[in-house]
Amino acid sequence: MRLLWRRATDATAQPYLMDGMSSRPASTENAVDLPNDYRRLVDEMIRSHRSSLLLRPRLAQDLEPTALRAAIDRFRSDACLVSAGRVRLNRWQVRAAANFELIDSTDCVEVDAVFLERLTITNRQFQAFVDQGGYQKKSLWRAAVWSSVREFVDRTGTLGPRFWSAGRHDTSEANHPVVGVSWFEAEAYSRWIGMRLPTDAEWVRTACSPIETDNAITQRKYTWGDTFLSQRANLWNSGIGRTIPADANAEGDSVDGARQMIGNVWEWTSSNLQLWNGRAPIELAEPMKSLRGGAFDSYLDTRATCQCRSADNPLARRHNIGFRCAVSACDIIDTSDRVDELPAMQGTSEGTR
């Protein structure tokens, strides 16, 4: 156990761990050495949706078997594994004669195996990040944006998502996707839980589950097939007109088990928007980050397919943009076979989902 916290001072792990232990600083001098504290801390990290962090190889090797089992159990219920393979991505081609069109590119992108969260991050999950001082933790933020973090405030001027009040979410929407967060806030949260934002290619591969036959790739238009069904995704045509809980619409799950890839909220990805004029990339006046999936107020269901994308300024804090996190399979321990050999942890919370 002492070893765990000694390693926590390691440069790579420190940014993540310090927040989880805000009440007890992580240092070898103040090492947590009581079994109860240890269990409480691991339990707290799992409840705070940070099990991915515990499964980093350097931390997982020092976890007690029961704690490791709990972390793996939780992680496997939270994230789905998307195997390595190829995916076809469209590119935006702008022609000089003021004629804009989306061209189906035949370029294929190789994607490594990745774990993608089954659900988008909810208000309740993001609340833990706010409560544990995520906005004050410099190591979670990009240096370039750190000075602007104080501007990421809610309706009352308190640090937090734009549509919250006094640093708290609306309790009636605890299970709804968190919205009103900029790309930088999404990135900081992802880092806090030991994950990252998915790339465009990872997101599309998860959503459309490509099938490769005879060197050709067949991709679904929507996660469930090629025809839009309003009861499977919360878009404008569904007539709901607002966000719904992140775990609703199970019928619309992707093949790998990711929910609401289509509809409810747009999702930030880590990729930049790139437009092309012929073969030449167009330089944008301001950088834009790619968005995927469509939202509850997306009017055209043909523009909210697995392949379609939008984009926005990374500082934008919109009412319909949320995110889900990802982690490369190679960045965490192999969770596939080990769990059955491990003993269960007593009293582990069900988490904050």
Partner 1 sequence: MSRLVTTPLDSYELRHFAVEVPCFVCAGGNRHDAERCRHCYAPLALTYQTADQRAGKPHMLAVLGPPDAGKTSYLGMLCESLSRQCESSHAVSRGAFSVALQQQVMARLAGQQFPAPTAEDAESWHWNHLQIADSNRRRVRELIFPDMSGAVMERELDHQTSPSTRAFLKKCTGAIVLLDTQRIERGDPTPDFFAMKVLSYFGEFGTKRSVSWLRKPIAFVFTKADCSQACFDAPRRYAETHVPGVFRQAVSSLKRFDFFAASVAGATINLEIDGAPISLALRVEPRGIREPMVWMLKQLG
Q: Closer to partner 1 by CB, 72 or 204: give it.
A: 204
CB of 93 to partner 1, least distance (A): 11
CB of 325 to partner 1, least distance (A): 22
Binder of partner 1 out of 101, 107, 341, 350 (CB under 8 A): 101
Binder of partner 1 out of 3, 282, 330, 344 (CB under 8 A): 282
Q: Closer to partner 1 by CB, 96 or 143: give it.
A: 96
Binder of partner 1 out of 89, 102, 240, 339 (CB under 8 A): 102
| C-alpha count within 13 angstroms, C-beta hemisphere, residue 16 | 27
Q: Which of the ranges 56-64, 134-142, 255-263, 269-277 carries the binding residues for partner 1, by CB under 8 A? A: 269-277
| C-alpha–C-alpha distance, residues 237 and 227, integer Å | 13
Task: Pick out residues in 19-48 that bind partner 1 (CB under 8 A).
Answer: none
Q: Closer to partner 1 by CB, 75 or 228: give it.
A: 228
Q: Say if residues 198 and 269 touch (Cβ distance below 8 Å).
A: yes
Q: Which residues contact 61 (CB under 8 A, 6 or more apart)?
A: 333
- Residue 297 is a binding residue for partner 1 (CB under 8 A): yes
Binder of partner 1 out of 11, 29, 34, 96 (CB under 8 A): 96
| C-alpha–C-alpha distance, residues 259 and 247, integer Å | 7
Binder of partner 1 out of 1, 89, 248, 316 (CB under 8 A): 316
CB of 248 to partner 1, least distance (A): 20
Give me the torsion for CA of 69, 72, 76, 78, rounded to 10°.
Answer: 110
Residues within the interface to partner 1 (CB under 8 A): 94-98, 100-102, 162, 236, 266, 273, 275, 277, 282, 284-285, 288, 291, 294-295, 297-300, 302-303, 310-312, 316-318, 320
